[in-house]
Structure 1
Amino acid sequence: MNDLKTVSALVKQILEDDVGARNSDNVLYLEILRYYSAEKGIDLYRLSVPDFLMKLEQKGFPAFETVRRSRQKVQATYPDLAATGAVGAFRARNEKVYREFAKSEV
């Protein structure tokens, strides 16, 4: 649980500091990776994609989904950190579509 609180606190800090991260999970995740790689002395830009993906947990990076869910919770708790304009509207539409899909049979 402490890891989730740590990730959520970092997500909140990044969203406060970087408006672009509010609108893009990719920007947010890159900032998360920059933070963790600096903390662990890992050269993020020298990691190959396969090495990164296969050793994500071993290197101590949070999962994509953990960051996305943390962002969602932080933005629900702090509406002033929510996505802006078209991105916010797009996410709201997508959520409605996904909810309908989730209720249907696959």
Structure 2
Amino acid sequence: MNQSKTVENRVLEILKDCPRSRYDDMLLILHYYNRYSYMRVGELPLEDIVFNYKLYGLPCFETIRRARQRVQSVFPELSRNPQQKPQDCISVVINIG
């Protein structure tokens, strides 16, 4: 259970630092692995990561995904809300006739 809280705390930090990771689990996993492992996991082959994540002391993909769901249920401002249109757009409507 303690590891779960640690994963959730780490996921919370990443969701705050990188808003794009709120929408993409693989990006969240990449950020998590690169930030909390002793090596640059993003430079390793995917096959190596999938089969050896325990040897690297990292949680599996599903653990990180579930932690994201729990964090986003507690912090809805970090959820997967659709991105809004930029407010600096100008609309011009011309009625003829």
Alignment partner, residue 85 of structure 1:
82
**RMSD across aligned C-alpha pairs, in angstroms?**
1.5
1:51 to 48, 51, 62: 48
Alignment partner, residue 24 of structure 1:
24
What is the number of equivalent residue pairs in this alignment?
83
Deviates more, 1:46-55 or 1:59-68: 46-55
Amino acid at match of 1:74: V
Alignment partner, residue 103 of structure 1:
none
Structure 1 unmatched runs, 5+: 87-106
Instruction: Determine the C-alpha separation between the residues in 1 that align with 2:48 and 2:26.
Output: 19
Deviation at 1:53, TM superposition (A): 1.5
**For residues 1-106 of structure 1, what are the structure 2 equivalents within 5 Å?**
1-37=1-37, 40=38, 42-85=39-82
Structure 2 unmatched runs, 5+: 84-97
Between structure 1 and structure 2, the one with the greater Rg is 2
Instruction: Determine the C-alpha separation between the residues in 2 that align with 1:52 and 1:27.
Output: 14
Seen in structure 2, the aligned counterparts of structure 1 residues 59 and 79 have a Cα distance that, compared at 3 Å, is same
Deviation at 1:61, TM superposition (A): 1.2
SS of the equivalent of 1:85 reads coil
After TM superposition, which residue ranges in structure 1, 4 or more long, deviate above 3 angstroms? none
Query: What is the TM-score when the length of structure 2 is the normalising length?
Result: 0.77
